[in-house]
Amino acid sequence: MPIRLSFICHARTEAQRLGRFALDEPADPKGLLQAQEMAAALKKPVRILCAPETRTLQTAQALGEDIEIVPALEDYDVGDWRGLRLCDLQESIPQVLADWTSDPGSAPHGGESVEALCLRVGAWLDEFREEGHFAVVTHPFVIRAAIVHALAASTASFNLIDVEPLARVELRFNERWRLRV
């Protein structure tokens, strides 16, 4: 039996609504209701794997019970930029922000580089060998890294991927990872 990972982005947060880098904040109640509705359409997974942040845990709880926290699925570390709005960074440090978006190895914010995130998520995927279907509730950046890894794409393509709240992306493993749309 192959491995099936249904990556689900957490429900919308205030940070997403305001265009800022997130703190550990709750999910929007309306989004959590949408997650409950999504649970009915999701074929019963063996288990729900979840990033440790509040918004992902709340979304996972809206989807079902049997939840396992997986530290490797934690959100991208934006370091000093936590809580800051992207438009404010564009005004105050436009060149630094431009360098960060164009160089996956850059981490001017004192956090994690996109390359490091992709390596972290890729290592987790490469080590995951439990057969069956799993719901994986995590963050847009983590899902983007999983897609880059599954497609064996360059980290330069990372910023070409958008992941909306409650988006679902399916990866299957049968000798290699495949993106299923």
Which tens digit of pLDDT belongs to each residue from 108-129? 999 999 999 999 999 999 999 9
Residue 109: other Cβ atoms inside 10 A: 20
Looking at residue 81, its pLDDT comes to 97
**Sequence ranges of the domains in the chain:** 3-180
Which tens digit of pLDDT belongs to each residue from 79-93? 999 999 999 999 999
User: How large is the average pLDDT for residues 8-15?
Assistant: 97
Q: Is the pLDDT of residue 35 over 70?
A: yes
Q: Is the pLDDT of residue 69 over 90?
A: yes
Residue with the bigger pLDDT between 3 and 39: it is: 3
Mean pLDDT taken over the chain: 95
Range 3-180 classified under CATH 1.10.3720.10: no
Structure token pair of residue 161: 């991927």
pTM: 0.96
